Structure 1
């Protein structure tokens, strides 16, 4: 990781304005750093966490409360109802519009979150394969009839790489991968751009991480706090707003486990433990995904003078000679 040493003054007037992306595993402290950067660089925040797009999913997603956002504009928060499906394609179009509007206003987009596909879709030249309603309907019928495990086994035969990266319980993504393979005749991953190109808008990509034991401790304490601060009550309220009818929202870590407890599949203590272990498992996947990208600058989130160290990097990356590499509280 880059050592968080030294300091740098804010970007000088006239320097090239480019976004800063603050990514990395869950629980590392990305939101706090993003707020600090937005204050230092006259920025607006663009959320890149899939589940924070949902209205009412606040406690379980660790969404920064409105009164703690320091008056900084946030985009792509609270833009979906829990009955709506969160898709990478929808996010890509909406978030690119937000980033370009912020840049046009002469301000700095601060992109923050840890949803892997969302990050790549926003920062890379990713064109999504078309869908075929008939193929999709047939596969969804097979999913309902045969179950997700059966389709996942089929995916492992036709596209082993996709099967290894998609959870066997994620029916929506399994169906989409099989659809893409059938339509294009190519592996699902072929629709993604290769890592290594300059990120869109010459974005400086910052990733935070922490020692594994330290992060596990933070995740344990964060999970305990979520349940103490009303996650169960939040889920009950969202059930009344159609959470169970949603496609993506009810599968979010924490929400799925509480729903199972409310349905009697296990008790709330078990739901809390499963939320912790599910989050920890997700962190391992995030680390593996992000470590493949050589454009990312890694920082130890627990190191002193983190903001100054990141600012020193941003000052270099945003210098005039550097090569290209909602409303107003909801603008």
Structure 2
């Protein structure tokens, strides 16, 4: 049995999950598994609104602070490790609560999805080739061997072109973006989605952005830069950090960065909602009704 709490950024998923875990018995009854691609990184706290140790209220959290910023986040690796966490929690007699807004990561944990194999040596060689011949030429090579993938992958997305070429070389198969069909990997999976009106959600996003900057986003980014953030393959692209780097470089003012982060977060929220609304398993509830609804669901899962 596994409970997932999903929904867009700023809707209150983490708070709802922690409150539920505390009410049903705390650390003896439940543990939380994160499904947020950027919260995997150590040191990226303010910009990802990561729950603090105090906010966790003694509930064990998994898949948070497991990667250095120099490492590339892999959904295939996340699938392996998140499922190991879930299986261990179930084996201990507790309820695993999966929480997050990264749709593909949620699906990687919950759904029957097989990710193509990887080979770091092949990828490294292809990345060097991309630097040597450029993005357009690399995309042309993909088009020659895997035209279907080339058709749907933007030539400017070098990482994705490299990944498609890697899959083709390692497996001999075409690489196509994987869209889950919502076939659960676990029996008894229950997925609850938190939702609210866009007006209220946009207000929360604006407040969240202001709080990020007031809580030290620029200082955190400066410290991460000393650890190699500029060269980090995935971490440097995160909303908030990308803009903070621009401020530190004098390319943006703080006000411009705030506006950019707010706009990017709104755009992300629309993508998240589009992703989750396709999943027929999700039981949607507003945050104000979530406590009673989650209690009822847990009672139903554990009669």
TM-score using structure 2 length: 0.87
Q: 2:239 aligns with which of 239, 242, 253?
A: 253
On the 8 A contact 1:125/1:193 being kept in 2, the answer is no
Please state whether the residue corresponding to 2:84 is helix, strand or coil.
Answer: helix
Q: 2:174 aligns with which of 159, 167, 186?
A: 186
Q: Shift of residue 210 of structure 1? A: 1.4
On the 8 A contact 1:162/1:177 being kept in 2, the answer is no
Please state whether the residue corresponding to 2:49 is helix, strand or coil.
Answer: coil
Q: 1:107 aligns with which of 94, 103, 108?
A: 94
In structure 2, C-alpha distance between the alignment counterparts of 1:312 and 1:96, rounded to whole Å: 25
- Which position in structure 2 is the counterpart of 1:22? 5
Structure 1: gaps (5+ residues): 1-17, 321-331
Point out the structure with the larger helix share.
Answer: 2
Q: Shift of residue 117 of structure 1? A: 1.5
Q: Is the alpha carbon distance of 1:102 and 1:91 closer, same or farther for their aligned partners in structure 2, counting shifts above 3 Å?
A: same
In structure 2, C-alpha distance between the alignment counterparts of 1:26 and 1:150, rounded to whole Å: 37
In structure 2, C-alpha distance between the alignment counterparts of 1:104 and 1:300, rounded to whole Å: 31
Question: What is the aligned-residue RMSD (CA, Å)?
Answer: 2.6
Please state whether the residue corresponding to 1:158 is helix, strand or coil.
Answer: helix
Q: 2:256 aligns with which of 263, 266, 270?
A: 270
Q: Shift of residue 234 of structure 1? A: 0.4
On the 8 A contact 1:30/1:208 being kept in 2, the answer is yes
Please state whether the residue corresponding to 1:98 is helix, strand or coil.
Answer: helix
Q: Per-residue CA shift, 1:181-239, capped at 9, x if unaligned?
A: 565443513xx374132342422111112111211111011001100111000000111
Q: 2:14 aligns with which of 22, 31, 37?
A: 31
- Which position in structure 1 is the counterpart of 2:273? 287
Q: 1:69 aligns with which of 22, 47, 56?
A: 56
In structure 2, C-alpha distance between the alignment counterparts of 1:45 and 1:119, rounded to whole Å: 13
In structure 2, C-alpha distance between the alignment counterparts of 1:279 and 1:168, rounded to whole Å: 24
In structure 2, C-alpha distance between the alignment counterparts of 1:86 and 1:299, rounded to whole Å: 30
In structure 2, C-alpha distance between the alignment counterparts of 1:35 and 1:307, rounded to whole Å: 11
In structure 1, C-alpha distance between the alignment counterparts of 2:75 and 2:197, rounded to whole Å: 30
- Which position in structure 1 is the counterpart of 2:40? 53
TM-score using structure 1 length: 0.80
- Which position in structure 1 is the counterpart of 2:127? 140
In structure 2, C-alpha distance between the alignment counterparts of 1:315 and 1:170, rounded to whole Å: 46
Q: Shift of residue 173 of structure 1? A: 3.1
Q: Shift of residue 278 of structure 1? A: 0.9
Q: Per-residue CA shift, 1:15-41, capped at 9, x if unaligned?
A: xxx111111111110011110121233
- Which position in structure 1 is the counterpart of 2:107? 120
Higher RCO (C-alpha 8 Å, min separation 6): 1
In structure 2, C-alpha distance between the alignment counterparts of 1:151 and 1:210, rounded to whole Å: 43
Structure 2: gaps (5+ residues): none
In structure 1, C-alpha distance between the alignment counterparts of 2:283 and 2:277, rounded to whole Å: 10
Q: Is the alpha carbon distance of 1:194 and 1:66 closer, same or farther for their aligned partners in structure 2, counting shifts above 3 Å?
A: closer
- Which position in structure 2 is the counterpart of 1:307? 291
- Which position in structure 2 is the counterpart of 1:9? none
Q: Is the alpha carbon distance of 1:197 and 1:274 closer, same or farther for their aligned partners in structure 2, counting shifts above 3 Å?
A: same
Check if 1:298 corresponds to 2:284. yes
- Which position in structure 1 is the counterpart of 2:148? 158
In structure 2, C-alpha distance between the alignment counterparts of 1:82 and 1:88, rounded to whole Å: 16
In structure 2, C-alpha distance between the alignment counterparts of 1:31 and 1:133, rounded to whole Å: 34
Q: How many residues align?
A: 295
Return 238-247 or 141-150, whichever deviates more.
Answer: 141-150
Q: Shift of residue 162 of structure 1? A: 4.4
